[in-house]
Structure 1
Amino acid sequence: MKKTSPLFLFLLVVNALYSSAQKLPPVFGDETQYQTDSRVRSYLTARRIVWMSDHTGAFIKGPQNLLLPGSGQADLVHKNFCTLKSTDKIKPGIVLDFGKEIQGGIQLVTDQPSNHNPIRVRIRFGESVSESMSDIDTIQGATNDHAMRDFTMEVPWLGTIQVGNSGFRFVRIDLVEPNRELQLKEARAIFEYRDIPYLGSFKSNDQRLNQIWNTGAYTVHLNMQEYLWDGIKRDRLVWVGDMHPEVMTINTVFGKNEVVAKSLDHARDITPLPGWMNGISAYSMWWVLIHRDLYKNQGDREYLRKQQRYLVGLLDQLIGKTKDHSEALDGGRFLDWPSSENSKGVHAGLQAMMVMTLEAGAELCLILDEPAQAAKCKETVSRLKLYIPDANNSKQAAALLALAGLVDAKKANTEVISQGECERFSTFYGYYMLQAKAKAGDYQGALDCIRNYWGGMLDMGATTFWEDFDLAWTKNAAPITDLVPEGKDDIHGDFGAYCYKNLRHSLCHGWASGPTSWLSEHVLGISVVEPGGKTIRIQPNLGDLQWAEGTYPTPMGIVKVRHEKQTDGKIKSTIDVPKGVKVLR
C-alpha cells in the first residue's frame, strides 16, 4: 500500500479547517461556486383546521392529527395520520391555518397506503382563507404572479417532500386523482427568515399600539429575504421608494443589516444613469434620501463613499430636470397608487421631493468632500423654494410639502391631512402623513390615526400590514381568518385597485410599516442627531398615554428609555445610553 505523505495529510487538514471556518463542505472546493445568506428555516405546526370538504368521516379521517407536532420523518409506526380518500366524484380537501403570515413553503410527510404510486395533490397558499379557496381566474384576481401559490404536484409513498416559496398563512390541500388514498402524517409550514434579534422595542399602557409596533416590525422582517422585498407573495422586487419606510423600520428594530446595502447597491448597479430606478424618477430621489437617513443612523462613511460617483451623477441629473423654479421630471411620475390620478398633486409632491432630495444631497456631498456639488444643490433648492404648487387636496402631496418646509406644517395638517381623519390615508404614504402631523405638533391626531387605520387591519385578522387599506372596506366585511358568510364582503377578494385588485392584493407589504419607526421617534422621542448615534435627542410625546418605554439600536449600543406621565401632566424620564453617547433634551 502506498504511504500517504505527511505534507498531503497536513494540506487536507488545513483545507478542512478552512472550509469549516467558512461553514462550507470541503467537497465543494471553490467557494465562489455557491452563495449563502443569513436566513434560517423553522417548521410550524398548523394551529387549526379552517375547513374540510367532508365531515362524515367517509373521505377525511383523523384530521386532528395534522395539528400534532411533527418530526419531518416518515416512519413505519403507521399511527396518527390523516387519511384523504377520493372517488370518481369526490375529491376531498382541507384548509390549515398556521396562525400568522410567513414566507416559505410546506413540508408533507406521507405514510404507507397499499398503492405505491405517487399521488397528485393540489396546493393552494393563501394570505387569507378566501385566497386559499380561490382559483386562478379573472374573477377575484387570484394569481401566481411572482410566487407560485396554486399548483398541482406529486407526493411520494412513505416519504417527505418540501415545496413552495410564497407568502401565506393558510394552505389548502386537495386530492386531484379519483380513487386514491393519501395518508398524510404531517403538513408543516416551512418558515424562512433571517435569524436576527429585535434590538429595538416599544411598550406602553396601550396594548393596541404595542401590537401595531410589533406588527410593523414583523412585516418588514418577513420581507428581509435574499433582498429587501416589498411583498412576500407579490412584489418580490427591490422597489427603492418603497424601501424608505422599510429602512427606517430596520434602523429602529434591527440596526445595521446587510440586506439594506445589498438592495441599495443592486438598484444602483442595474440602473446606470440616466435611467431612473424602477423607471420612476421619485424612486431615484428616495435612493438619495435613504442614503442620507442610513448614514445618519449608522455613520458608515466607508459605505457612503462607495456611492460617491453615482450620487454626484444622479444629483447632476436631478438638477438638470428643473426649469426655472419648477421640477420638470420625466420617467414615471409617481408618488403612490392612491394619488396617481391626481396629476396636480403628484406635481406638488415631486416639487417637494426635489427640495428634500437636493438638500439631502448637499449634506452627503459635504461629507464626501464635494463642496462644489453641494453648492449646486443648495442653489437649485433656493430656486425651487420660490414656487410652491397647490397640493390639490392630496394628503400625500400636502405631507411632502410640509416635510420639505414649503408650506406651514400646521396649515397642511389642518386644511388637508386631518380632513376626514384617516380617510384617504395610504399604507405607504401614511408614514409621511404621520411625520407631517408630528411636525405640526399633532401627536394625538397621529396616535388616533395609527390606532384606527393600522389597527383596522388588525381588526380584520391581519398579522402583517397590507399593500393598501381603506377603513370603508371594513363596514360589512368578514375577517381574513374565516370563510366569508353569505351577505358579507370579502375584505381581501372584494376590494383593492390599480395593480392590487382583489386577491392579487398583498397582505404583507413592507412599505406599510411606518408606525413602527414613528412611535419610536415621536412617542419614545428618540432621534439621531450625530451620525452613528454619537449624539441623540430624546423628546417624548405621550399624547393620551400614561407611560411608554422601549429601546433603540445604535452602532454605539442600545438606548433605553422609559417615560411616565405625572399627576401634574409633566413627564418623568429614565434614560440609559451607551458610554460615549451624548443626550440632548
Structure 2
Amino acid sequence: MKHILSLLLMLICSITATAQQATWIWYPGDFEIWLGNDMQNRRTERETFYPVFWKMDSHYPLVDFHKEVDLTAPEEVSIYVEGRYNVRIDGKAFEGAPSKITIPAGKHWINIKIFNQAFVPAVYISGRTVFSDNTWLVTPEDKEWIDETGKASDISATKWLHSGSWNFNKPETPPSAFRLPVSPASAVSVSSHSKGRIVDFGKETFGFIKLHGVNGSGKVNLYYGESREEALDIQHAETLDRLSFHQSEKRDTVLSLSKAFRYVNVETDNEVQVDSISMLYEYAGVKERGNFRCSDEELNSIYDVAKYTFRLATREFFIDGIKRDRWVWSGDAYQSYLMNYYLFYDNETVQRTILALRGKDPVTSHINTILDYTFYWFMGIYDYYLYTGDETFIKQFYPRMKTLMEYCLGRRNKNGLVEGMSGDWVFIDWADGLSKKGELSFEQLLFCRSLETMTLCADIAGEKKDAETYRQYAAELRARLFPLYWSDSKQALVHSRVNGMQTSNVTRYANMFAIFFEYFDQQQKSAVKKSVLLNDNIQKITTPYMRFYELEALCAMGEQAYVLKEMKSYWGGMLKLGATSFWELYDPSVSGPAHYAMYGRPFGKSLCHAWGASPLYLLGKYYLGVKPESPGYKTYTVQPVLGGLEWMEGTVPVPEGDIKMYCSKKEIKITTISGTGTLRLQSTIKPTCAQAIAESKGGNTYELTLQPGKTYVVNYRAVK
C-alpha cells in the first residue's frame, strides 16, 4: 500500500512539474515586434495620434510549430491556440480544430499550423511529458509541396528556429492579453483655481487617471503636466484628455490611455461634477537586485532618483521618456541595457528591446533612421553577451545581425567610411551648432566596434568565414582611425573630415569613446584627458545622454573623485530645482520655466528620461568596481574606488546571484556567488586577508583571487 501511495505521489509531482514547465510559444521575435508596434503607437500629443518615424514590421501571420516525440505510452495533451489552426501527427491531420489529442506510443512528429493576422500565432500545449517550451521548432514557411500522385515532399529545406517564449505560463493568459500591472495611488494634495482644481501626485508618475463620483452632463477637461506650469497652461500642455459625460447617477471612470504626469489640471463645466481623482499606477514588475549606499547623503538621493527614473522608463521595453515619445530608441535603450545590468539584471527586457528595434528583413533604413543608433544596436548585443554569456540568443538571431551589417557595409562611401546619406539621421547628441557633415570620427568608432561585435557573434554562430571577413574589416578600419583623425597639434581626434581633409574642430564624442573602447594607448589617453575632457574650451555637454559617456571615460582613467563632484553638481542641480526624476537635458545656466522648453515648445522637454539615470551604471561599475571580464561573469574584477567617499556598500547582480560588498578606507568586505574574481585595490600597506593572499602588482597596486561562494574581509589603507 505504501508503495502504491509512493508511486501515486511521484506521478502527481511529475504532472505538477510538467504543468509548470508548459508555456505559450511563438515564432521568436514576433511577439516582441507585435508588442512594440502596439506600445509605440499609443503616443498622442494633445489628443492627436502621433506615429513613429520609421518602418514598422509585423509578425508572421502563418506559423508552423514542430516537435518530435518518443513516447513509452499513449498520451493525451490539451491544446490552446491563438488563431485558426490544424493539428497533424506524422503528416496526417486531425479533423476540425481539436482541443485535445491522443499521441500514440512510439516516435512521432507533431505539427500545429496557426494563422492569426491580428495577434501573434501562439500555442500552449499541456500533457504529462509533451508540453510547449522553447525546444519546439517553428517556421513561417514549411516549403512543403504535393506532387501529382498526392505524395507530400519532405521539408529538409525549411529553416527551423527554436520557439520564443516569455512568462505566459497559464493557458488562460495568452500573449495577446498581456498588460502591465497596476496599483491604486492617491494624490498628495488638491488645490483650487479659477477654472477648476489642480491635483498633485507628489512626484513624477505614470498610469491611468480615475475619476470618482462623476455625475451630470457636460465636459471634463484634463491637462497633464510634469510641472505645475505645464498643467496650468491649457494651450501648451503636451498631453490632455477632453471628455463628455451624460450620467444621471454617480459613477467612477478610468481613462483608457495611460499618461505621464505629476500634476493634473481638472476643469469642468457647471453641469457635471467630479467628487475626487486618483490614479492606477502602471509599472513593469521587475525586481531590483542592485543597490548602492555611501557616506554622502546627496549621492544617495541621486542614486534613489536615478533608480526611480529608470523604473518609470522600464515598461514593456526600455523606452526613452514616459511623457512625450514613449518609443523604443536604440541610443536610449543601449544605455538602459547597461544600467539594467547593475539594477534589475532583467535579461528578458533587454532581449525584447533588441528584437523590437531590429524588426525584420529587408533592411531599408538605419534603426530609428539614425546612423549611430544602428551601431548602438550592435554594441548592445556585444555587452549583452559579456554580461550574460547567452550564446543561444546570438545563434538564434545572428542572421538578422548579418543582414543589418550588410546594409551598413553597402552604405560606405568611396573612402570606405560611413557618413550620413540620403534618408539618414546623424544624431550624436543634442548640441547647438554640432556639425554633422562629412566623415565623422565618432561614427567610425561606433562602426568599428560594431564590426568587432559581428566578429564575435559570427564565431559564436559557427560562421567562421563571416567571422574572418568582419575581423579584417574591423582591423582595417581601426588601423585607419588615427592616421585619418588624430591631430598632433590638438592632441586629440578631430571631429570630422570634409572633402578628404581634417577639420580643425575637436569635440568630446569620439575622444571619450576611444578611451573606454581601449582604442587609445596610455600616452594618447593622458593627452586627451588634458586636451579634451578637462578642457573647458571644448564645447560642453548638456545632455545626461552624453554625460553618461563623458563621465565613464573619466572613471576609466581613475578620475572618480572628479566625477563624484560632477555628479553632485549636475544631477544634484536637478534635485535642487525640485526634480523627482531626471531630465532629458539640463543646462545649469538656464533658469525658471525655460528649463521645461525643448524642440521649440515651452514644455517639450521630458522630465523623466531613461538616459538621465546613468549614475546607476557609473556607481556600480566604477565605484563598487564590479565588471565582467569574460562572458557571464565566469571571470570578473572588483576594483572599488571611493573617489572621496568615506565608505560605500552595495550589491551587483550577476547570472547566479548577487555580489555584495562594503568598502571603507581601511576595510573591504566581499561576498561572492560564482565565477572567479580578481579584487584589485590601491593600498599604502600590503593588504591582509584570512581568506586569500594579496599579491603585489607594483607600486601601491595589489590583487587577491576571489573564489565562488565565499566571504572575504580585507584590511588595507586606501591611497589618498
SS at match of 1:401: helix
Q: Deviations over 1:135-194 (max 9, x none)?
A: 234xxxx434xxxx343443853111111411111111111x23x36251x311221001
Tell me the equivalent position of 2:511: 398
Aligned residue for 1:333?
426
Q: Any conservation in 2 of the 1:409–1:437 contact (CA below 8 Å)?
A: no
Please tell me the root mean square deviation across aligned C-alpha atoms, in Å: 3.0
**Structure 1 or 2: more strand by fraction:** 2
Distance 1:154 1:411 in 2: 67
Q: Distance in 2 between matches of 1:343 and 1:241?
A: 17
Change (3 A) 1:423 1:451: farther
Once the two structures are TM-superposed, the CA of residue 411 in structure 1 deviates from its matched residue by 2.5
Determine the structure 2 residue equivalent to 1:436: 553
Amino acid at match of 1:540: P
Within the candidate set 190, 202, 212, 1:99 is matched to 202
Distance 1:214 1:348, change over 3 A: same
Deviation of the 1:362 alpha carbon: 2.0
Asked if 1:45 corresponds to 2:162, the answer is no
Residue 309 of structure 1 and its aligned partner are, at CA, apart by 0.7
Q: Classify 1:439/1:344 alpha carbon distance in 2 versus 1 (closer, same or farther; 3 Å).
A: farther
Alignment correspondent of 2:147: none
- Number of aligned residues: 493
What is the aligned partner in structure 2 of residue 242 from structure 1? 332
- The 1:183/1:322 distance shift into structure 2, 3 A limit, reads closer
Does the 8 Å contact 2:231/2:264 carry over to 1? Answer: yes
Distance 2:432 2:528 in 1: 16
TM-score by length of 1: 0.78
2:371 to 251, 263, 281: 281
Separation (CA, whole Å) in 1 of partners of 2:403 and 2:526: 36
The alpha carbon displacement at 1:108 in A equals 1.4
Deviation, 1:339, is: 6.3
Provide the C-alpha distance between the structure 2 equivalents of 1:201 and 1:155, rounded to a whole number of angstroms: 50
**Contact 1:423/1:470 (<8 A) preserved:** no
Deviations 1:345-372 (A, max 9, x none): 9812112212222223222322222333
Rounded Cα–Cα distance in structure 1 between residues aligned with 2:371 and 2:440: 12
Bigger mean CA offset, 322-331 vs 537-546: 322-331
Aligned residue in 2 for 1:569: none
Shift of 1:563: 0.7
What does residue 564 of structure 2 align with? 447
**Is the helix fraction higher in 1 or 2?**
1
Distance 1:468 1:48 in 2: 28
> Which residue number in structure 1 is paired with residue 454 of structure 2?
361
Cα deviations by residue, 1:108-148 (Å, 9 ceiling, x for unpaired): 1117xxxx6334211111111111111234xxxx434xxxx
Matched with 1:124 is 223
Report the AA paired with residue 151 of structure 1: R
Name 2:277's counterpart in structure 1: 187
- Give matches, 1:48-87, under 5 Å: 48-49=189-190, 51-53=191-193
Q: Does 1:414 align with 2:514?
A: no
Partner residue in 1 for 2:242: 151
TM-score for both structures, normalised by structure 2 = 0.64
Pairwise CA distance, 1:292 = 0.8
1:376-525 to 2 correspondences below 5 Å:
376-385=469-478, 386=480, 387-388=484-485, 389-391=493-495, 392-407=505-520, 408-420=524-536, 423-473=540-590, 477=591, 489-493=592-596, 495-496=597-598, 499=599, 501-525=601-625
Relative CO higher for 1 or 2, CA cutoff 8 Å, sep ≥ 6? Answer: 1
Question: Counterpart in 2 of 1:134?
Answer: 233
Contact 2:636 2:675 in 1 (8 A): no
Identify which of 575, 578, 581 aligns with 2:670: 575
Shift of 1:531: 1.4
Query: Does the 8 Å CA contact 2:216/2:273 hold for their aligned counterparts?
Result: no
The CA distance in 2 between the partners of 1:229 and 1:18, in whole Å, is 35
Structure 1 unaligned blocks of 5 or more: 1-9, 55-91, 478-488, 567-571
Q: How many angstroms apart in 2 are the aligned matches of 1:399 and 1:524?
A: 22
Match in the other structure for 1:87: none
Q: Distance in 2 between matches of 1:155 and 1:206?
A: 56
Q: Distance in 2 between matches of 1:500 and 1:449?
A: 28
Q: 1:223 to 1:346 in 2, by over 3 A?
A: farther
CA 1:188–1:124 in structure 2 vs 1: closer, same or farther (change >3 Å)? same
Paired AA for residue 122 in structure 1: N
Which secondary structure does the structure 1 equivalent of 2:589 belong to?
A: helix
Which SS does the other structure have where 1:136 is aligned?
Answer: coil
- Structure 1, residues 540-566: CA drift from partner, whole Å, max 9, x if none? 111110111111111111111111113
Query: Partner amino acid for 1:121?
Result: V
Matched, 1:109 2:212: yes
Consecutive unaligned residues of structure 2, counting only runs of 5 or more, are 1-76, 80-98, 101-124, 128-167, 486-492, 496-504, 681-720
What fraction of aligned residue pairs are identical, expressed as a percent?
Answer: 26
Cα deviation for residue 11 of structure 1 reads 9.4
* 1:47 maps to amino acid: V
